[in-house]
Each structure stands twice: as structure tokens, then as C-alpha cells.
Structure 1
Amino acid sequence: MRFTHALTVLAALCLSATGCGGPSPRSASTAPPIAPGHPVTITNCDRTYTFDRAPSRTVLMSGGAVGQVSSLVALGVEKQIIGNAQSYGASDVPGRAEAIDRLPKVKIQEGGWDISREGMLSLRPDFVIGTTGYDFDARNGYATRQELLEVGANTWLPDSTCGGPGTVRGTQTIEDSYDMLRDFGALYGVGGRAEKLVERSKRRIAEIEARVRGGSRPKVMYIIPGMEMGAAEFSSIGANGIWNDIFEKAGGVNAFGGVTDEIFANLSKERVAKTDVDAVVIINWRNPDPDAEATKLFTQFPQWRAAKDKRYVVLSDSAYLGPDNAVAVEKIARMLHPERF
């Protein structure tokens, strides 16, 4: 995942509101049945899309993310996925990484981070899910949203990252995860499942918030070792993202939340050393030994309270937009306020 990129056909079914401009290559006998609640119209990134049927040929772009594919797996619609480029190889939910690994994989373009335009069109998708606007930027070699729409494929992005990481619309919160689940639930005809996931998450987070209410608010670092989001030595420190909401609900605060308007801070070792850090969240992104990364940080910054107390937790997909933010909230809360559990 590198947010300097950051972070690609013929469709079997015409799904756009304006039509595809040509006949569908899929015959009526092989078209998927109309799902409950369809047609569904959504507005995504200021564009309107109408789904006459549930997507049956879904492709997930990478963008370095995993929350979108996790959401589809949690909703039980894996069979509608024909190509997946999202994988951390790790998950905070038992069995999730293995379920994602079983999905049909797609080839990432050589020297790039996602599916090339030619590769995408050859898949004949009817629905393409991205992570940021970069996933549909022709300058990166990817199929644009308009190109995909013209061949019958609707697209979806988180509304907060429509234009790419450099043009973020506000800071993501856990509510954005719920919005994504509800969107996917409606599109795939499993709105009831989506609502159950949302309500279960809300209930658990409310229980955790009640436990930590009134306590101290330790300063937490969020870092993805091995990532390069900029030129500075520490360019993968989370500054403004969904993790800020997760920290707040877990009874903490982002130690680097105000240092930049970007999603990730791009900091020198000297700047990091001057910041008080009480605890660390290590994000495991294809890392063979994330615990060693915590040891490395504590060796570099022994003055931190986090280093003195060896206070850290390793997370992966639950700390991103997705269906499992309650897992991250609970694990961080237990790290920060063990006496409350």
C-alpha cells in the first residue's frame, strides 16, 4: 500500500441508470434473478447508480485496503466475487483471512498496486469496488468509472476518498463503516444481514464506551510498519482516519491527530521523539513479525511511556473501514484500561 499511488469489458448486464448504449451480451436465461428490494439507486461520490439486480460479477480493487472485501465476506456474498485484489493475509477475526484467501484472485499490474485497465476489462465485471479515487484514475493505468459505466459496470468508493487520499472529504468514522455495510446490503439484497452487523457493532461499542467512561485518555500512536506514504522516515503514522474515532470510543486519543491535514503524517524521527506516546497500535500489513516492530520503536524512543510500560497491541483489518471496528475498539480499550475489564 503506497498512497503516492495509493494506495482497472463487456459487462454481462447493463446496470446504469442511463443505459449501456448497447445490448447486454448475457441472455435472459443466464441473467441472475432480481434480488429482493431491486432496483436500487444509490448516490456515490456525487454520481447516481441504479442496480437492477444484485451484482454477480464483482471485482475488488486493492488500494492497499481490505475492509471492502471483509464486508462482502461478513455479508455472505462471496459467490458474487469473481476477482479480489484486497488481502492483508491477516485478520482480527478468526477464519476471515482464510476466507479471503479462497476468493478468486486477480493479477496486479507489473510495477503497480492495482488491476490494469486491460486486466479489468477482460474480467467483464458488473460491479467494481475501489478504495480511493486513484483506483479509477487513467493516469495510473486503470479503467475510469465512466469507462466502466459505459460497458455496464457500476462502481463504488468510500465517499470520503472519492478524489484520492490527498482530497479527503472529512475524516472517516465508524459511521462510514456502517454506511458501507448498508450500501452493500442493499445492493446485494441482504439488507437485513447488514443491519444485524451494524446493530451488533453498535451494541458492543456502547458497552465498551460505558466501561472506559470517566477514565484517563492515553495518547496512542497508530503506525503501519513497512508502509511508505511519503519521504520522511516516519511516513505511515495515522493522523486523520477512522482510527481517531476508534481511539475515542476505546478511551484514548491520537497522539499525532493534529500534526497534519492528511490521512498519514510524514514525520522526522526528531518530531516523533518530541511527542508523548502512551501506547502504540501496530498495524500488521503482511508483516512476518509485528511484535518485533513494537520492540524496534521502543528501542528508538525509550522516553515514551509506551516504551516503559511495553504497552502496545497488534491489529490488522479491524482498524480500517469495515465490518469489525468493534473488535479494534475492544482490543485497544483493554490495552489502555485493563482495570475496567
Structure 2
Amino acid sequence: MSAKRALLATAAAFACLTATACVTTTNAATSPGGGAASGYPVTISNCGKDYTFNTAPSRVVVMNGGSVAEVSSMLALGLGDRIIANAQSYGASDVPGRVDEIAKLPTGGVKLNDMMDIPREAMIGLRPDFVISTYDGGFRPEAGFATRDDLRAVGANSYAPASSCLGVGKVSGTPSIADSYQLLRDLGKIFGVGDRAERLIAESERRIATMTAKVKDLPKQKVMLIIPGMAMGGEFSSVGGNGIWNDIFAKAGAENAFAGVTDDIFANLSREQVAAADVDALLVVNFMSQDPDADARKLLDQFPQWDAARTKRYVVLSDSIYFGPSNDVAVERLARAVHPEAF
């Protein structure tokens, strides 16, 4: 696969990171914190099929799909020891120690395919009891992946966010931080650690509420989000459109400078559109960049008419701006960047 095609595949996968996991659950007994006590079996419905867990999974495979939301959620819930093979990595994180935690996880010795993911025969050979994919395309037979039925036949349940039920790159509704919380809750139910999930969610909600209270009466700052290392066409084809980041912006006292330009995850803009926009602050997403700060400065130098260029106001984020367990980090860092007067 060429570098350009690899980036396109990654971008398509990122488009699936912002939707709620399509899960309903039933179990025999639950603890007050929401986790299973001795109450297995637990049954979930995911993308139209039911999956029953008689015990918490112990041989988990996490597919790539261009995400770290799933593996990061597993780690945040203290479930890293259940993973026998992880294909997700990003190389950067806004959470101290997260990159090293992910790097230490087993890979299962798998030779990844051209999409940098786990092919069918290798997947079956891992003997998993639970496979997590970022998107339903991770179970496509035409792409050489093990199907959900293949996995069920060897005793493995499977899971993917609900956006994949609609097709690759499509999202259901407006992506929000609540979707990230749903992923934590789903995994909490599946693994019987719902109490841990609820504690993580409550702490995230508390931190976000604190930030929102500090900036709620201040003017909304217009922010342009761009991923310099992930151009999918033109120079400005990876500008943030309808993504989870818009909810993060709102809670940080900001708004997307290109709100309404597209219903897609990313906007593909002309240089003229970018030059004419009101941009109070720049958010550069670190995607395989050697120097994201230099990327930010280069963009600010190109558009000296922006308020962001005059004030040199920008922030670099990585995984926290996406679907995953760390959106509170993004809210805090963005709020401090766009409203320093509040801190």
C-alpha cells in the first residue's frame, strides 16, 4: 500500500471514532456501580447481532483501524492484562505514560496486512475470546479479515462502534463526548468493571464542568483544527468538520471556525476559504509529526491576517481530541489556550 493510500485508510478509520457503540445489555445481577457482580451471562447487541459473555473476556485482540480509543479505554479501565494482541498505536498521547503503556502490550507476533491490521488466518490463530474493531470494516471478508461469524465459530465475541453499522466513514447523529463515555460503559459491562467505568466518567465530567464554568461567560473563540500530516487531497483537506471535537470546543469556550461547511468529519477547503476565515486560535493535531509546534508556526506564518497569527495562539493535541477516554484533557488544554485570562 502506498503512503497516500495508507493515510486515506487511516483517515477513513478516524471518521468512525466519533460514534456511540451500538450496545444494549442484559445481565443477571449488577453491582451498585454498574459492573457485573457474579451476574454473568451478559448479552449485548452490537450492529444487529447478539453476543453472550458467560465470563469476562481474557484473550482480547484489539484491531488497528487507525484508532487508539479502544486500547486506551481498555488501559484506563485496568484491563491491559486481558489483551493478547494489540494492533493500535499512535506514537503520541496527551496522557502521560500512555504511549509507553501501549508499546508494552503484546502484539501476538502478527504480521500485519497492507492496511496495517490483522488478517483472517492470523486472527484465528490467536484463539481470541473477544475481538474489538474500531469499525465494522474490521470484519469484512473482502478485505481479508475474519468475519464476525468466523470469530463466533471459534468462540470469540466481537464489537465495533455503531458508526460501522451504517458504513465506513458515516456517523450517527452529532458526535459528542457522551459517545466516549458510552464506550467506557460498554466495556465496563462486558468485563464486569462498570464501577471503574463510572468513576472514570464521573471524574471526567467533573473536570470538564470545572473548565466550562470558568469560560462560560467569555466570548466564544473560533478555532481551526487541522492534521498537517494527514492530507487526503488538497493542502487543507484534513481540517476538522463534524467531529467529536466540536463538543470539546463548546465545553472549552470555543467553536469550530468552519462550522457548517460540511457534514463530514473533515472539510476539504481551498486556500482562499482558509485565508478568509476568522481564526482566533489554531489546534494542530499531532499525527506522526516530527515537530507539531513547527507545523503550527508554519501555518500561522502563512495567514498573518488571522487573530491567531497576531497572538501566536495555538495548541497541539493528539489522542484526547478524538473518541476515547481522555476528552477531558482536551477540554482543559484547549480552554487554557483560548481563554488564558480565565486561569
State the TM-score, normalizing by the size of structure 1: 0.87
User: Aligned-pair distance for 1:288?
Assistant: 1.7
Question: What amino acid is the match of 1:84?
Answer: N
Distance 1:35 1:285, change over 3 A: farther
Q: Number of aligned residue pairs: give it.
A: 315
Q: Which residue of 1 aligns with 2:130?
A: 127
Answering whether residue 145 of structure 2 is matched by residue 145 of structure 1, we say no
Counterpart in the other structure of 1:92:
94
Q: How big is the shift at 1:36?
A: 3.8
1:3 shift after superposition: 4.5
Q: Is the 8 A contact 2:176 2:247 kept in 1?
A: yes
Alpha-carbon distance in structure 2 between the residues aligned to 1:125 and 1:39 = 18
Instruction: Tell me how far 1:108 sits from its aligned partner.
Output: 5.6
**Is 1:214 paired with 2:187?**
no
Q: Counterpart of 1:49 in structure 2: which amino acid? A: Y
Residues 1:329 and 1:123: Cα distance change in structure 2 (over 3 Å):
same
Structure 1 residues 267, 36: closer, same or farther in 2, change over 3 A?
Answer: farther
Q: Which amino acid aligns with 1:339?
A: E
**Please, which of 176, 179, 198 is the counterpart of residue 176 of structure 1?**
179
CA distance 1:235–1:122, change in 2 (3 Å): farther
| Residues 160 and 171 of structure 1, relative CA distance in 2, 3 Å threshold | farther
Q: Report the AA paired with residue 2 of structure 1.
A: L
The structure 2 residue matched to 1:249, chosen from 244, 251, 260, is: 251
Match for 1:2 among 3, 7, 10?
7
Q: Separation in 2 of the partners of 1:283 and 1:174?
A: 18
Structure-2 separation of matches of 1:275 and 1:255: 7
Q: Identify if the C-alpha distance between structure 1 residues 74 and 4 changes in structure 2 by more than 3 Å, giving closer, same or farther.
A: closer
Residues 132 and 163 in structure 1, CA contact (< 8 A), matched pair in contact too: no
Is residue 133–residue 160 contact of structure 2 (8 Å, CA) maintained in 1? yes
Structure 1 residues 223 and 146: alpha-carbon distance in aligned structure 2, compared to 1, 3 A threshold: farther
State the secondary structure of the residue aligned to 2:187: helix
Other-structure match for 2:200: 197
Q: Which runs of 5+ in 1 are unaligned?
A: 8-16, 18-33
Rounded Cα–Cα distance in structure 2 between residues aligned with 1:272 and 1:142: 39
Question: 1:80-121, CA deviations, whole angstroms, 9 ceiling, x for partnerless residues?
Answer: 001111111221111111111100125463432322222222
Q: 1:60, 1:69 within 8 Å by CA — same for their partners in 2? A: yes
Contact persistence 2:136–2:161 (CA under 8 A): no
- 1:159 counterpart letter in structure 2: A
Structure-2 change in CA distance of 1:270 and 1:121 (3 Å): farther
Aligned-pair CA distance for 1:35:
7.2
Instruction: Measure the CA separation in 2 of the matches of 1:150 and 1:121.
Output: 10
Give the residue type in structure 2 aligned to 1:231.
Answer: G
Of the structure 1 ranges 109-118 and 76-85, higher mean CA displacement relative to structure 2 is found in 109-118
Mapped to 2, the partners of 1:66 and 1:189 lie a distance apart of: 22
C-alpha distance 263-231 of structure 1, shift in aligned 2 (>3 A): same
Please say if residues 163 and 169 of structure 2, whose CA atoms lie closer than 8 Å, have aligned partners that are also in contact.
Answer: no
Distance 1:163 1:74 in 2: 28
Whether contact under 8 Å (2:137, 2:164) holds in the other structure is no
Q: Which amino acid aligns with 1:246?
A: I
**Whole-angstrom CA distance in 1 between matches of 2:183 and 2:62:** 14
1:140 is displaced (CA, Å) by: 2.4
- Which residue of 224, 228, 235 corresponds with 1:225? 228
| Secondary structure, counterpart of 1:232 in structure 2 | coil
2:149 and 2:210 map into 1 onto residues whose CA distance is: 44
Q: Which residue is equivalent to 2:18? A: none
What do residues 149-176 of structure 1 show as CA deviations (whole Å, max 9, x unaligned)?
2322211112234344432212321111
Q: Is the 8 A contact 1:57 1:124 kept in 2?
A: yes
Q: Which residue of 2 aligns with 1:318?
A: 320
Structure 2 unmatched runs, 5+: 1-5, 14-24, 26-35
Rounded to whole Å, the distance in 2 between the matches of 1:178 and 1:56 is: 22
The corresponding residue for 2:33 is none
Task: Provide the TM-score with structure 2 as the length reference.
Answer: 0.86
Work out the CA distance in 2 between the residues paired with 1:36 and 1:325: 32
Q: Deviations over 1:9-29 (max 9, x none)?
A: xxxxxxxx9xxxxxxxxxxxx
Q: Deviations over 1:276-319 (max 9, x none)?
A: 21111111122221111101211222221111211111111111
Q: Is the aligned partner of 1:160 residue 2:163? A: yes
Partner of 1:109: 112
Quote the Cα distance in structure 2 between the aligned partners of 1:170 and 1:284: 26
Per the alignment, residue 69 of structure 2 pairs with: 67
What residue identity is the alignment partner of 2:216?
A: R
Q: How far apart are the structure 2 equivalents of 1:86 and 1:47?
A: 25
111-120 or 303-312, larger mean C-alpha shift: 111-120
Greater CA drift, 215-224 or 36-45 = 36-45
Tell me which residue corresponds to 1:25: none
* 1:54-93: CA deviation from partner (whole Å, max 9, x where unpaired): 1111111111111111111011111100111111122111
